[in-house]
Structure 1
Amino acid sequence: MEKDIRQSLQEHIFRLENRRRELMRPEYLRLGLTIGQGQSRILMYLLTEDGCSQREIAENCHLDVTTLSRTLDRLAEKGLLERRINPQSRRECQIFLTEEGRKTAAEVCSCFRETEKKMCSGLTEKELEALDAGICRMLGNLTEA
């Protein structure tokens, strides 16, 4: 039985993400990070949004709040971030990168850029735009479902 294009596409997306993770894994290990727990996304987000709340991180990094709390604990244990009480709301913490966290986040960004270059090699800007538009539409379809 021949695969339909939708099955093929789903398989390619799965394999693409797995291969991307394989490529990045050695760099993550060198940095002391765990791939697949959102650590890199959190660090990259804090690089531009330092001092935000846990809720903001969860929303912008698309992470479950429970998972996020444990991940933040791990990053804090590694000395990459710290929690501070929000002076305007004592019930809320603000999350800040440490100096070491800033260095690690910059290295994570560099790793992502290198991986993106490899992944997009040989594709024209027009092809990338079409691919982006298609994936955005698919994501919208799943969000509406």
Structure 2
Amino acid sequence: MAKEIWRPPETGVIKINFDAAFKSSDKCAITAALARNSSGDIIGAETYLFEDVVDAFVAEARACERALIFAGMMGLWHLIMEGNSLTLANEAAHILAIEGRRFQRFGFWVEGVTDAVKEKAMNDRLDWFQSSYSTF
């Protein structure tokens, strides 16, 4: 089975990856949205705390909802939404959610995502670049 990699959107489109880190003992979910352009550059990110979440399925649904709100706040309209906690192609958003939970960092920013998220986004871009040239 081939490794699934993150792929950038077409020029003029923004891809928002979203995920949630759910903690059943606290019934809390930290959602994350990570917006990247066609070059794979991070153009914005958000983590958000939800309380009284009943399960991981609801946490993922809330992550999608929050990602759409985030897109609207950023004025983004040409979008691809991508969220699947079971694929490695969504790992940067997953890292953002986990780090939001670990550091209790919730908010919206254009710059300042953690080094781990930046590194994963850069590796995503490199993986995509290498895979696109290995097909020739």
- TM-score, normalised via structure 2 length: 0.36
Structure with bigger RCO (C-alpha 8 Å, 6+ apart): 2
Higher CA-based Rg:
1
| Larger strand percent | 2
